Every structure is written in C-alpha cells, then in structure tokens.
Amino acid sequence: MAESRGSGSEPGRLLQLDRLIPKLWESSSPSVTAALRIAVKVVNRQKRRLAVVGGVVRDLLLQKSVFDVDVMSESPTRSLAREVAEELHAELVEHDRFLTFTIHLEGGLKLDVVTARQESYGAPGQLPVVAPAPIEMDLKRRDFTVNSIAVFLDSSNEGRLLDPFGGIDDLRSRKIRALHDQSFVDDPTRIFRAARFAGRFSFDVDPKTQKQIEGSIGKGYPRLLSPARRRHEFELVLREVDPGPALRLLESWGVLAVIHQDWALRPEHLEALRRVDRKDLEGRLACWFRPWGPAAAQKMMTELGFERATKKAVHDALAGK
Ligand code: CTP
C-alpha cells in the first residue's frame, strides 16, 4: 500500500523515468530502505524477479512523498517475506487469501510483499479468487492505468519499466482510466477508488471510464457490496487529505446514497471535514454524521456495522460530551 500526500509539484511534470529507482532509494524512510535492500538481496541470490508496483510508482512519478511500499515477486513469496521480516525482527502478517505479506516496520510503515497473481470474480461485488501468475499478467488485473506500472529492482532487470496500458501517458494527461470494460462490474469498490484518485490528484475521469462507472451503478452493482466493504471504502474517502472532491464526485454519481439510503452531501460537510485532520477518522465521521443528529447517526452506524468503540466516539462527539 502506498500512502501519499501532495508535495505541491507542478501539474503534469513527471519525474524523469531514469530517476525512478534512485528516487525510491533516496526518498524512502530508513526502515523501508532496509527492508527493500534485504528483499533485493534475497531475490538476487535466488535469481528471481522483484518489482516495485502500484501506488508507489505512481506517486514517485508524480513527485509526491512515498511512505509505504508494495513490491511484487512471482510465487512463492512467503519465504521472501519471512526472510525480510526475520532479518529486521519485524512483525509479519500473512494474508494467505490474497497471497500478500505485510511486514510492519518502524515508524508505523509497511512493506507489502505481493505475489504476482491473476484474479477471477465469481459474481459482481464478491471478493476475487486469486492464483499465482507472472508479473506481466498481474498488471492486467489492476484497477487503473496509473496504478498498473511496475519497475524492476532485481539486479538482472533493475530499472526496467512495465507500463502495458499507457499509465505514464495518463499521469501526464492527468487521467483516471480503467483497464477494461468489466472493471467496475467485477469490483464496484473501484468506483470509490476512481473518485479518490481523481479527487486527490485533481485528475479527470476518462469519458469511457465514466460510462463504465455509470453502467455499473445503473445495474446496481455497488449495492451488492457488503455493508463492511461499503463502510471501508467510505472510510478511505474520509482519510483523504481533502475528502471534498471525492465526495462531490460520489454524490454526483449517486453513490453516497448506495452506501446508505439516507446519505447526501451537504455544504456543511465539506467545511467541517476540512477542519479535522485526516488521521482523526472518528472526528471526520462525527463531521459526516452531525447533520443527522446523534440518534439517527447511531442507527446508520449500526446498519453499516461500525465497531462499538467508533459508534461511541461519534455519539459522544455529537452529544457534545
Ligand atoms: N488494486 C486494484 N483494485 C482494487 C484495489 C487495489 O487493482 N480494488 C491495485 C492497484 O494497482 C493499487 C494496488 O492494488 O495500486 C494497491 O492497492 P492500494 O494500496 O489500495 O492502492 P494504492 O494505489 O497504493 O492507493 P493509496 O495511495 O490510496 O494507498
């Protein structure tokens, strides 16, 4: 997972491609650099490929700060993740279902070791079934062109770039573009993601992608997401530095009312949310629920499966406790 915050870089000016790897090493925190060095050492010894991928490549190219990093290698990757974690005495969390391994580093940072995979979706809105695949194929299962760029780190391929869908061109022209027609049918959470990335980077949603989003919403696919997944996507929106642009897009697409039938964006939401730091999720939830009052807020939070502690914090904030 890559967390990024704006650094005020000039719109449209991307990092030079030959600066990508040096910039990754220069700008990563010491704990991430140490983990990456071990990962590279292990794959070089095993003569395997390792690439940095997804949000981190996007954010480096956009000249934004990079915090957490995703690296991808081909199956089996468990031993690679374990070796990195052991050498650093770091906690390792294994997400077997998605063949992903999270190494928790100092300073609250993470290195995700992702197994290159393909995905198949049984039905719209369900989680995919995954199977190991080559790195090139993994890039095809992703959401947007700008998130489907990879750069190799292993010594045999170091610096080689994979950009099969023109993600770099889309970063230059500031566009959110899905990879294929089924994207928002397979995974309607990508509608929220499109709003987040378009909002965060002030990018446009490509017209064809816009039509695909409208098609998925028109067929009711976002409603098939479980309440927990709808809640999670909404929380990710609230964690944006300024959630306003993403919320406006979601409102214009009619998606807020999909999360909960009573929801609508109001001007006071935007003002209130801007005043609360992105790290204070409960504070931001309180801003969101305030217009409905404490009793209605509790009912909605129960319907969406919020945790008891979160409900209490929001209740206390709304009741002025
Ligand atoms: N991804 C995807 N479809 C999803 C979720 C994730 O294709 N529904 C892929 C994207 O390629 C994404 C990568 O998995 O870049 C990692 O996911 P995540 O960490 O959520 O995305 P980031 O791009 O790192 O987003 P953020 O900057 O908000 O952390």
User: How many folded domains does the chain comprise?
Assistant: 2
Ligand 1 within 6 A of CB of 154: no
Is residue 9 scored above 90 in pLDDT? no
Is residue 199 scored above 90 in pLDDT? yes
Same domain flag for 86 and 208 = no
Q: From residue 40, how far is each of 24, 173, 241 by CA, in Å?
A: 13, 33, 33
Ligand 1 within 6 A of CB of 183: no
Mean pLDDT of 28-49: 97
d(CA 71, CA 304): 33
Residue 54 Cα: closest atom of ligand 1: 15
Question: What is the side-by-side strand order in the sheet with 91-95?
Answer: 91-95, 100-104, 110-115, 69-73, 50-53, 150-152, 161-162
Residue 164 CA neighbour count, 13 Å, CB half: 15
What pLDDT does residue 2 have?
41
Q: Which residues of 67-80 are buried (b: 16+ CB within 10 A; e: fewer)?
A: bbbbbbbbeebeeb
Is residue 6 scored above 70 in pLDDT? no
143-170, pLDDT tens digit by residue?
999 999 999 999 999 999 999 999 999 9
What pLDDT does residue 162 have?
98
Ligand 1 within 6 A of CB of 284: no
CATH number of the domain encompassing residue 12? 3.30.460.10
**Which of the four pLDDT bands, split at 50, 70 and 90, describes residue 4?**
very low
Mean pLDDT of 194-203: 98
Percent of the chain past pLDDT 70, that is, above it, reads 96
Q: Which domain holds residue 280?
A: 196-318
Same domain flag for 168 and 216 = no
Same domain flag for 162 and 217 = no
Residue ending a domain, choose from 173, 204, 228: 173
Mean pLDDT of 252-257: 96
**Which of the four pLDDT bands, split at 50, 70 and 90, describes residue 11?**
low
Q: Is the pTM of this model over 0.85?
A: yes
**How far is the centre of ligand 1, averaged over its atoms, from the C-alpha of 107 (Å)?**
21
Same domain flag for 160 and 235 = no
Ligand 1 within 6 A of CB of 1: yes
Mean pLDDT of 288-305: 95
**How far is the centre of ligand 1, averaged over its atoms, from the C-alpha of 142 (Å)?**
8
SS3 233: helix
Q: Do residues 52 and 45 lie in contact, with contact meaning Cβ atoms separated by under 8 Å?
A: no
Ligand 1 within 6 A of CB of 298: no
| The two three-digit tokens of residue 303, written as one number | 């319907």
Q: Which helix (H) or strand (E) holds 281?
A: helix 281-289
Q: What is the mean pLDDT of the chain?
A: 94
Same domain flag for 205 and 94 = no
Percent of the chain past pLDDT 90, that is, above it, reads 93
d(CA 245, CA 265): 11
